[in-house]
Amino acid sequence: MFNAWSRRDRPPEAGTAAGLEGFAVDKTFLSSLKGILLETELALTFIIFICFTASISAYMAAALLEFFITLAFLFLYATQYYQRFDRLNWPCLDFLRCVSAIIIFLVVSFAAVTSRDGAAIAAFVFGIILVSVFAYDAFKIYRTEIVPRAAQGDQQ
């Protein structure tokens, strides 16, 4: 028991960040195309959430949920933590995240614009921009990660 107390009271070894050594942020990812797309999706989703909060609070849950999902993917990719879950097909999950967000934001944006409120119209405009960003992200995922994996599967 005394040994456990002495280990806990000691400072961490050199090179570790007090238990956070597995969560180092890859700064090159944040400046890559995928990182910039995720950051743009995160910012636009937050703006839409604010617009829905100001006008139609019934639609803000969709924007908030997509904000947290995008934030989780940004965290997992930026820290390379997703590589620890090697049984999951990450390109497929990311593609489905983009496709579901496209559908959700198209429906919510067109439903919100019917209220003719200024913030709802702003949410509609940002929603259409966000849908185009999600569509580009889904297209890039499909072209760079899903199609080459399918071609490798055919060759084996």
- Measured CA to CA, the distance from residue 145 to residue 91 in angstroms comes to 6
For the entire predicted model, the pTM comes to 0.78
Query: Per residue in 17-40, pLDDT tens?
Result: 444 556 778 888 889 999 999 999
Helices (H), 18-142: 27-30, 33-54, 60-78, 90-112, 118-141
Of 64, 43, 42, the residue nearest 52 (C-alpha): 64
Query: Per residue in 67-111, pLDDT tens?
Result: 999 999 999 999 988 888 888 888 899 999 999 999 999 999 998
Helices (H), 19-58: 27-30, 33-54
How confident is residue 11, by pLDDT bands cut at 50, 70 and 90? very low
Query: Tokens 């002495």, residue?
Result: 6
Query: Per residue in 40-57, pLDDT tens?
Result: 999 999 999 999 888 878
